[in-house]
Each structure stands twice: as C-alpha cells, then as structure tokens.
A = this chain, B = another copy of it.
Amino acid sequence: MPAPATADTPCQEYEKVLTAAQAAAPALAAMTLTERAGLLRAVAGALRAQADELVPMADADSSLGVPRLTGEVERTAGQLEMFAEAVEEGSWLEAIIDRAGPDLRRMLIPLGPVAVFGASNFPFAFGLAGGDTAAALAAGCPVVAKAHPAQPRLSDAYARVVVDALHAAGAPEGTFAVVHGMENGRKLVTDARIAAVAFTGSTAGGRALADLAAARPSPIPFYGELGSLNPVFVTREAARVRGKEIAVGFLASMSLGAGQFCTKPGVLFVPAGYGLEDLIAAEAATAPMRLLHEGIGTAFRAEAARLAAHPAVRPLSVPEQDAADESVVRPVLVGTTVTELARSSGPLLVECFGPFALVVTYTDDAELPAAVDLLEGNLTATVHGEPSGDPVAPALLRTLTARAGRVIWNGWPTGVTVGWAQHHGGPYPATTSVHTSVGVTAMRRFLRPVAYQSVPDAVLPPELRDANDLGIPRRVDGALTAASLTAPR
C-alpha cells in the first residue's frame, strides 16, 4: 500500500513555526537545569504512555514490526532520560573559573534554534524526537524538525505527543515543531533564525544540505551523519580458530533490520584459503526481506545489481529478485580481492543501503595496510583477532582508528549503546564534524562558550557564581572541584 502523501507546510505556517522557535530560544535557555531536565523527562513519559498509539503508525510507515518498534520507543525514552540526568549533573557546561588575572568565568550556552533532519530507519530513536532532538533540547535549544517524507502517518502524531508533553511541562511555546516538505527543508538550512543543523541520512542528500549551510552569509554548523561502510577485518588466526562463527555472525549483522542500519558491516576482509567466502555463500539467507519503503527497495535493487555486475567481483549469493513488490528484496553478497579492489575503476567501496555486502579476500598480511588505505571515513571498524599469538590484530585496530570513530574487537558494529562513552561519528563521509550524534557528548554540538570578565556575582549565570548552589563540577584556578568559592575575589 503506498503511503498517503502529506502536504508541505504552507509558507505562513512555516513563518509562524520559525518565529516561535526564535522567541522560545532565550526563554528555554533561561530555564533552570532542573526545569530543563523536567522537559526531557516529560517527553520520555509521554512517549511511553502513547506507545500503543504511535507504534502501529510507525509500523505502517516502515514495516519494521511492532516488537522492534516497541523496543525503539523505550530506547528513545531512555535516551531522553539519560540527557535529563546529564543536564542536571552539569559537567557538559564545561564551567571554568580563573581568578589569577582579571576574573574570567567561562561556560557553554545554547546556540539557538536547531533544525533536525531525522532518518527513517529508526522512526523513533533517530526520528523527530530521537537523539539529535534530545541532545538539542538538553543543550537548551528549540528544535524545528523536518518530517521524513516516508513517515506521513507517524510524523504529525509523534510531533503532537512531543509538543503536548513540552507544553504541559512548562516549556516555552515554540520549543518544538515539525515542518513538512523538501523545499521547507532547504529553507530551514538557509534560514537566518536557525543556528545549527543535525542531519541523519544519505551522503548525497546530506552533502547538498551541508553545502547550503556553508554558503550562507553567516555559515552555521552542519552536523551530518552520512554514509559508512563499517569494514570488518578477520585475521588469519581468527579465521583458523573460529571461521564458521565469524561467517555466521557477519551474516546476522549485515542483514539485521534488513541491512538498514548505518552501522551495517558492508565490507568484510578475510584471508584466502580458510574457506570463509564459501561458508558465507553457503550460509547466506536468501529469503525475502521487506525494506522501509518502495523507494529504498528500488534504490537497493539498482545499486546491488550494479555492484554484482561489476567486472571486479564474483557472486557469492546473488538470488533472483522478485518482481511483485519493489520493497521486498533478497540479500546480495559478492566477493573480490584486495588486488582487484585496488585496481578496479568505478566505485565498489560505497554504502549500499539494505542487505548487501562485499567480501574481500587478502592473500598476504602485507596487503592489509593498503586495504585500510582504500577506505574512506567510517562510523565503525571491526577487527576479529585472537587474544594471543596474533600480532596482526592489535596493529590493525590501531591503524583503523584513522578511518573510524568506533573500533570494535571481536564483535559486530550493529547496535549502538546510548551512554557517556558512546561515539557515533567518524571521518568524512561518516560525519561532517568532530562530534558524535549519539551519547551524552552529542550535546556539545549545540553549545558555544561564553566568557564573563569581571562580571559581578549577582549578574553572572547561577552556574558561574561563587556559591555554586547547583553543585556542578567546575575547574577553579586550574583544579576540578564541585565546591563553592569562599576565597575573597
């Protein structure tokens, strides 16, 4: 069933939304940390309370299924609560006080209204009130979210839950709103009232918007999470000891969520002569899987067919695709060698969204550094090695940190925990900044420092006053402390 079309937000309504977001910015920034945390908890509570209404709409828009989507609502609510806790803890303010020269006190303050472009593969966790929105609200920034065109049923209902929860919790009007339409998306990125953009999606779409943001009279930060191949390297020792386990694990990870994860392992490097290609060919699932929507299905079929027909590859598992429904596809796996890859013309190392992967064979460990050099930036890179007698593995892991934001040992990249230490980002095109889009530190994207010089205590923000009533960690005269200042100024 094709999704019903949603009308673009009309110009007058767009103006109202942007004016309200701009007006909300100082009011939201002026709320106490406790009040701001309360807003995040209110949204979390509302999402949980209305999951029964929202999940079927998300399923109708995405075919992801009720169990997975129910789990995703919980993850989204948990993420909001994590940020609430972090807001109150206060170390993200990076408060610093120096009293040796002129009294100088620095902290981070909100940037202003943020435009959020969510992804369709996680309708909740990376959607309208997903990680980017949670991080922006936690930082004290109003959010104008661009609705994903593939989620016409879910978007307005999801937005309404967020808007109502914020309103009930005392947020300024205009703290959150949604707009529809591709043209409105471009307008947002160039709108003088927008202070930053967060985007999750394709490299082509993200780059086009990033270029718009950079070309503004007053450029703004564009935080894009774009494409990633998430390479996995298997050492000779690991292939010898547990080749079958690795082959099975890889197939499970590359087809998880029908291969529609930004952390899907899209390329696997294996040593020749250990039978891993054959194992993968034999174990590969060929049953049909439903992709998010027809557009993704059509794009997958075209790209997977192009890659399978590339002169440098041979088929490992290339089942016939069914003609009936474009959004239903079967996994595709092809093989090549490091040598072929290095001399092939035409892109082979590109993200193909959906259940596709490339298995690359190396014949000599000495080929590995050259293989790493062929890679662009990635969200993740994984090494499968053995704990002892396998010196190749640690060296590979270290080399791969130059190409990825998260390096994984003997695991799989799919599955991104949300916490303090997470980093979901990497060298371009994985992301367009030196910041993460998941985890507590994602807040840093929507903040900028301000230093107060010789400002009287009563005029300072509470976070920087002598008393430190909020008990936040601060660096005072060089040393970290959560204490109040008693020494005379």
A150–B464 Cα distance when bound, in Å, is 42
- CB distance B218 to A419 under 8 Å? no
A393–B459 Cα distance when bound, in Å, is 9
- CB distance B452 to A441 under 8 Å? no
Q: For residue A417, which residues in chain B have a CB less than 8 angstroms away from its CB? A: 98, 101-102, 104
Of B100, B410, B434, B453, the residue contacting A454 (CB under 8 A) is B410
A342 lies within 8 A of chain B by Cβ? no
Interface string of A418-441 (1 = CB under 8 A from B): 011111010111001111100001
Q: Given the interface contacts A218-B377, A434-B111, does A450 sit within 8 Å of B106 by beta carbon?
A: no
- CB distance B449 to A441 under 8 Å? yes
Q: Which of A377, A427, A451 has the most CB of B within 10 A?
A: A451
- CB distance A421 to B105 under 8 Å? yes
Q: Given the interface contacts A219-B432, A451-B405, does A411 sit within 8 Å of B102 by beta carbon?
A: yes
Which residue of B has the minimal Cβ distance to A25?
B402
A441–B454 Cα distance when bound, in Å, is 20
Of B97, B218, B398, the residue contacting A429 (CB under 8 A) is B218
Q: For residue A445, which residues in chain B have a CB less than 8 angstroms away from its CB? A: 434
Which residue of B has the minimal Cβ distance to A101?
B417
Q: Which of A111, A421, A427, A454 has the most CB of B within 10 A?
A: A421
A393–B454 Cα distance when bound, in Å, is 13
A11–B294 Cα distance when bound, in Å, is 52
Q: For residue A453, which residues in chain B have a CB less than 8 angstroms away from its CB? A: 406-409, 411
Which residue of B has the minimal Cβ distance to A399?
B26
Q: Which of A431-489 contact B (CB under 8 A)?
A: 432-436, 441, 445, 447-456, 458-459, 473, 475, 478, 480
- CB distance A454 to B409 under 8 Å? yes
- CB distance B428 to A219 under 8 Å? yes
Which residue of B has the minimal Cβ distance to A446?
B434
- CB distance A109 to B214 under 8 Å? no
A397 lies within 8 A of chain B by Cβ? yes
A239 lies within 8 A of chain B by Cβ? no
- CB distance B421 to A104 under 8 Å? yes
A101–B91 Cα distance when bound, in Å, is 22
Give the Cβ gap from A2 to chain B, nearest Cβ, in Å: 37
Q: Which of A88-145 contact B (CB under 8 A)?
A: 91, 94, 96-98, 100-102, 104-106, 109, 111
Q: For residue A170, which residues in chain B have a CB less than 8 angstroms away from its CB? A: none
Of B405, B435, B459, B475, the residue contacting A397 (CB under 8 A) is B459
Of B105, B420, B428, B480, the residue contacting A218 (CB under 8 A) is B428
- Residue pairs across A and B with Cβ atoms less than 8 A apart, 13 shown, are A91-B475, A96-B441, A98-B421, A214-B214, A219-B432, A221-B434, A404-B450, A405-B449, A406-B453, A409-B452, A409-B453, A411-B454, A480-B480
Known: A387-B456, A407-B450. 10 other contacts (CB 8 A): A100-B419, A102-B411, A111-B434, A211-B215, A219-B428, A406-B451, A406-B453, A407-B453, A408-B455, A434-B447
Q: Which 4 pairs between the two chains have the least Cβ-Cβ distance?
A: A214-B214, A423-B451, A98-B421, A96-B421
Which A residues form the contact surface with B (CB < 8 A)? 26, 91, 94, 96-98, 100-102, 104-106, 109, 111, 210-211, 214-215, 218-221, 376-377, 387, 393-394, 397-398, 401-402, 404-411, 417, 419-423, 425, 427-429, 432-436, 441, 445, 447-456, 458-459, 473, 475, 478, 480
